[in-house]
Amino acid sequence: MMKCDNRYINMTRCNRGSGAGAAAAPAVGCVTAAFAVLLFGLAASGVAAAADVYPSKLVRIIVPFAAGGSTDLFARRIAQRLNETWRQPVIVENRPGGGAIPGSDYAARQRADGYALLVGTVTTHAVAASLYPKLPYDIQRDFAPITELAYIPQLLSVHPSLPVKSVKELVALARARPGDINYAAGGVGATPHMSMELFQQIAKIKMVHVQYRGSGPAMIGLLSGEASVMFDVVMTTLPHMQAGKLRTIGVTSLRRAPIVPQVPTIAESGYPGFESLVWFGLFAPAGTPPDVLQKIHETVAGGLNTPQMRESLTSQGLEIVASSPTDFSKRIAGEIAKWRKVIQAKGIKVEF
């Protein structure tokens, strides 16, 4: 170690000569060494900056549902858009089962660097907060909301044998025959089930839940007349409605759905404020750098608002949102509070 211009620089030997001519050598050697260190530092910082450009490697979008479902298909559209824009591989990683909890928990525990994202839904990020008493992750603490991607409303439909043609008539019949009308829904906590619980609470009626293993079997139950009433998403219900096999009397969005403008909202049918949507959102693990979150948001929102993507999604009954992270956070908080009230009032619990 030797001192050079009030700085210490590691050197094997700075002065190799002697005498008057050599007296200046240490200063020259120190300057040369200092310059070399400076260049090395600049080069290193340049390499680090290049490495920090996001994204510079494969990005995974984790879907806590099986391949082929609506969430999976939506995630693959987003992955394709990100791949085309970033010129980096973006893949969908399916981790189904357990009510989407294991897959969501897995996503929450990934490195917070933007290379592992999650497509969550109203079920995983609103209903689950109160439905499962031992949830292994905290929805608001362990995830960074990026954007609400889109939502799809549900349709309230009845079997043609039920003598009702409107929400008002259904409520009147249910009040006249409490506990006598069956409604179809998949598992406890699924969106159709929660929608019906909310509807019964607001309308002050009581119907009987006929539980099926998923929305597909539930729809078969409704079509067969085994159950009389059901909530389900637009695209599942629409073909049967058009074929006259079901009578659709209400939609769960606050405004009428463009794909079925003739169907009144439940809100306008006497229950202001009623809303129950199947929404999809994009998340990252908490702690992901803000600039990375912003880049993901801008890319995804830009892709959703292209004419091609908008036309494709709206033709399937989806309404594009592409909200800001702040607005999405508020949405989640409001949804958690809404469904908590329903779950607590009905005493609904599911052990995981």
Task: Give the CATH number, domain containing residue 333.
Answer: 3.40.190.150
Residue 43 lies in a domain: no
Same domain, 65 and 173: no
Has residue 15 been placed in a domain? no
- The count of structural domains within the chain is 2
Predicted confidence at residue 6, as pLDDT, reads 39
Q: Looking at the domain assignment, is residue 46 inside a domain?
A: no
Q: Which of 269, 291, 319 is the last residue of a domain?
A: 269
Q: Are residues 68 and 111 in the same domain?
A: yes
* Residue 11 within a domain: no
> pTM of the prediction?
0.82
Domain end residue (candidates: 217, 245, 269):
269
144 and 157 in a common domain: no
User: Are residue 97 and residue 164 in the same domain, yes or no?
Assistant: no
Q: Considering the domain boundaries, does residue 215 fall inside one? A: yes
H, E, C per residue of 56-107: CCCEEEEECCCCCCHHHHHHHHHHHHHHHHHCCCEEEEECCCHHHHHHHHHH
Give residue 85's domain range: 59-151+278-346
- Domain contains 328: yes
Give the pLDDT of residue 343. 95
248 and 185 fall within a common domain: yes
R_g of the chain, CA atoms, integer Å: 29
Query: Domain boundary residue among 269, 299, 326?
Result: 269
Is the domain of 89 the same as that of 121? Answer: yes
**In a domain? residue 137:** yes
As a whole number of angstroms, the distance between CA 317 and CA 153 comes to: 8
**167 is a domain residue:** yes
Torsion of CA 212, 214, 216, 222, to 10 degrees: 30
Same domain, 113 and 219: no
Q: How many CA atoms lie within 13 A of 288 on its CB side?
A: 32
248, 311: one domain:
no
**DSSP string for 154-211:** EEEEE-TTS--SSHHHHHHHHHHSTTT-EEEESSTTSHHHHHHHHHHHHHT---EEEE
pLDDT in tens, the chain (352 residues): 344 443 333 333 334 343 444 444 444 444 344 434 333 443 433 333 334 699 999 999 999 999 988 899 899 999 999 999 999 999 999 999 988 999 999 999 999 999 999 999 999 999 999 998 889 999 999 999 999 999 999 999 999 999 999 999 999 999 999 999 999 998 889 999 999 999 999 999 999 999 998 889 999 999 999 999 999 999 899 999 999 999 999 999 999 999 999 999 999 999 999 999 999 999 999 999 999 999 999 999 999 999 999 998 998 899 999 999 999 999 999 999 999 999 999 899 886 6
CATH number of the domain that residue 205 is part of = 3.40.190.10
